[in-house]
């Protein structure tokens, strides 16, 4: 491809990528992490949108590589996305997500982006990556059951009169501490690799291959610190302690959302960057995608935050805590595996589970059915439109 044409198509694809990042920030990654906290009156809608944008940007830079690689290089075999194909996929997915944002329904972003990339990839003559599809579909199917089930059980425990909240909630903070000790960050590992806090402490020592005993010990230390701090907070003021914990959980989920969702926005750009004559550091690409998420969170997220926090369930602090803990765990699992996942699906499933623990109070079944239908339709529609749109554009432009 001629250099001028390559730069022009890369520019168009980059604009489409930023549009996609904005749509994601305004939709799933910008609205879902703090929706339960807003529902519990722990933070205002506007302040939640501001904070989630900052944390999403940090998550994109520190944890975005795995999902970005998966979306850009692992969804199609035997073909590489062309500049035109990447532009079509990103634009199509962004339009579908934006329609969901303004219509008030949380479209599953991972479904639309994955479907669009697969559709244009097949139109390019590529082969389905069945192994990756099985991995992705397994996680997508398990999310409602695992997330909703864990949220239901957690909410039941917190509602039980036989389990004092002053012990149960700090114990949950200990669980979060264990997860946090083993979360991987790009800056903690050697060049080109990520590492957890535990691994970083021993990565340059002779004990690293046998780090498991140390990993258990440091994980328990994180658990004790987290549980102890929250226990003291709750002892001073129970309701304030619960709300502080909610804000921490919302921040962790927002950070995880950035690490996962940025790959949906910029993943299709990776094959294009391979063709340019100069090297573009991945961290710079991740920062650009994260910035798009931030702008979307600041400008468009409040509408969806209101939808999730008020329309789906009337949440209190305990049910919100029950919803956010499994959401954080599932999000980090997806980031670690490099699987694109919808945060709308994660959070909505957890909200439903915690809501049914209270007898289904405040849960809109009609809204849930419409949401699930939108998820399924968005995937099928994105695949079909991706295939058809790229075929039509390639005929008009005369490209392969």
CA 274, 275, 280, 281: dihedral to nearest 10 degrees? Answer: 10
Residue appearing with tokens 């690689």: 69
> 69 versus 109: which is more confidently predicted?
69
Tokens of 120: 């244009």
Average pLDDT over residues 216-235: 92
Q: What is the pLDDT of residues 30-53, one digit of tens each?
A: 667 777 777 767 788 788 888 888
Range list of H helices, the chain? 3-26, 28-31, 35-39, 45-63, 65-73, 83-103, 109-123, 130-159, 165-181, 197-202, 212-236, 238-266, 270-273, 282-306, 317-337, 343-356, 365-397
pLDDT score recorded for residue 171: 94
Q: By three-state DSSP, how is residue 154 classified? A: helix
Average pLDDT over residues 213-231: 89
Query: Out of 81-85, 144-148, 230-234, 307-311, which region has the weakest mean confidence (pLDDT)?
Result: 307-311
In a domain, 141, yes or no: yes
**How far is 183 from 177, CA to CA, in rounded Å?**
10
In a domain, 233, yes or no: no
**How far is 161 from 156, CA to CA, in rounded Å?**
10
185: part of which helix (H) or strand (E)?
Answer: strand 184-185
pLDDT score recorded for residue 331: 92
pLDDT score recorded for residue 313: 46
Q: Is residue 205 predicted with pLDDT exceeding 70?
A: no
Q: What angle do CA 124, 341, 285 make, to 5 degrees?
A: 65
In a domain, 370, yes or no: yes
pLDDT score recorded for residue 88: 87
Confidence of residue 195 (pLDDT cuts 50, 70, 90): confident
The neighbouring-strand residues paired with 195 are 185
- Cα dihedral 38, 42, 46, 47 sign: negative
**How far is 108 from 378, CA to CA, in rounded Å?**
7
Percent of the chain with pLDDT over 90: 33
Task: Domain count for the chain, please give it.
Answer: 1
Average per-residue pLDDT for the chain: 83
Q: Is residue 372 predicted with pLDDT exceeding 90?
A: no
In a domain, 201, yes or no: no
Q: Is residue 225 predicted with pLDDT exceeding 90?
A: yes
Q: Is residue 19 predicted with pLDDT exceeding 60?
A: yes
Q: Is residue 106 predicted with pLDDT exceeding 50?
A: yes
Domain that holds residue 140: 3-160+249-397
pLDDT score recorded for residue 312: 45
Instruction: Give CA 192 to chain center in angstroms.
Output: 22
Query: Of how many residues is the chain composed?
Result: 400
In a domain, 105, yes or no: yes
The model's pTM: 0.86
In a domain, 179, yes or no: no
Contact 320, 39 (CB under 8 A): yes
In a domain, 232, yes or no: no
Confidence of residue 224 (pLDDT cuts 50, 70, 90): very high
Q: What is the pLDDT of residues 252-296, one digit of tens each?
A: 999 999 998 899 989 988 887 776 656 778 888 899 999 999 998
> 395 versus 94: which is more confidently predicted?
395
Q: Is residue 184 predicted with pLDDT exceeding 80?
A: yes
Q: Is residue 163 predicted with pLDDT exceeding 50?
A: yes
pLDDT score recorded for residue 135: 94
Q: What is the pLDDT of residues 319-333, one digit of tens each?
A: 888 889 999 999 999
Q: Is residue 5 predicted with pLDDT exceeding 70?
A: no
In a domain, 197, yes or no: no
R_g of the chain, CA atoms, integer Å? 21
Average pLDDT over residues 366-377: 75
> 195 versus 173: which is more confidently predicted?
173
pLDDT score recorded for residue 188: 76
> 343 versus 181: which is more confidently predicted?
181
Q: By three-state DSSP, how is residue 47 classified? A: helix
pLDDT score recorded for residue 14: 82
């Amino acid at each position: 491809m001629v250099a001028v044409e390559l730069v022009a198509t890369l520019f168009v694809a980059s604009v489409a990528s930023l549009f996609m990042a904005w749509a994601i920030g305004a939709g799933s990654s910008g609205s879902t992490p703090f929706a339960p906290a807003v529902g519990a009156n722990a933070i205002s809608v506007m302040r939640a949108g501001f904070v989630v944008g900052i944390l999403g940007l940090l998550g994109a830079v520190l944890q975005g590589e795995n999902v970005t690689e998966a979306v850009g290089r692992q969804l199609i075999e035997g073909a590489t996305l062309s500049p035109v194909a990447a532009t079509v996929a990103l634009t199509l997915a962004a339009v579908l997500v934006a329609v969901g944002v303004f219509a008030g329904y949380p479209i599953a972003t991972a479904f639309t982006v994955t479907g669009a990339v697969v559709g244009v990839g097949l139109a390019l003559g590529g082969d389905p990556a069945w192994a990756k599809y099985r991995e992705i579909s397994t996680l997508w199917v398990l999310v409602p059951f695992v997330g909703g089930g864990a949220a239901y059980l957690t909410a039941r425990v917190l509602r039980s009169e036989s389990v004092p909240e002053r012990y149960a909630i700090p114990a949950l903070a200990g669980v979060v501490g264990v997860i946090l000790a083993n979360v991987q960050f790009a800056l903690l590992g050697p060049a080109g690799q990520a590492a957890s806090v535990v691994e970083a402490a021993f990565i340059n020592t002779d004990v690293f291959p046998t780090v498991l005993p140390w990993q258990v010990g440091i994980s328990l230390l994180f658990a004790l610190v987290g549980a102890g701090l929250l226990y003291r907070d709750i002892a001073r003021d129970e309701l304030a302690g619960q709300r502080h914990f909610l804000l921490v959980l919302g921040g962790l989920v927002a950070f995880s959302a950035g690490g996962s969702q940025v790959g949906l926005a910029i993943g299709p750009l990776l094959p294009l960057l391979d063709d340019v004559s100069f090297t573009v550091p991945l961290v710079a690409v991740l920062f650009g995608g994260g910035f798009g998420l931030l702008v979307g969170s600041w400008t468009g997220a409040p509408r969806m935050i209101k939808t999730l926090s008020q329309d789906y369930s009337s949440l209190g602090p305990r049910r919100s805590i029950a919803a956010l803990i499994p959401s954080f765990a599932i999000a980090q699992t997806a980031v670690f595996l490099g699987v694109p996942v919808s945060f709308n699906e994660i959070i909505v499933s957890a909200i439903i589970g915690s809501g049914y623990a209270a007898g289904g109070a405040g849960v809109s079944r009609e809204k849930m059915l419409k949401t699930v239908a939108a998820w399924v339709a968005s995937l099928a529609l994105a695949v079909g439109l991706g295939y058809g749109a790229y075929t039509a554009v390639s005929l008009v432009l005369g490209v392969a």
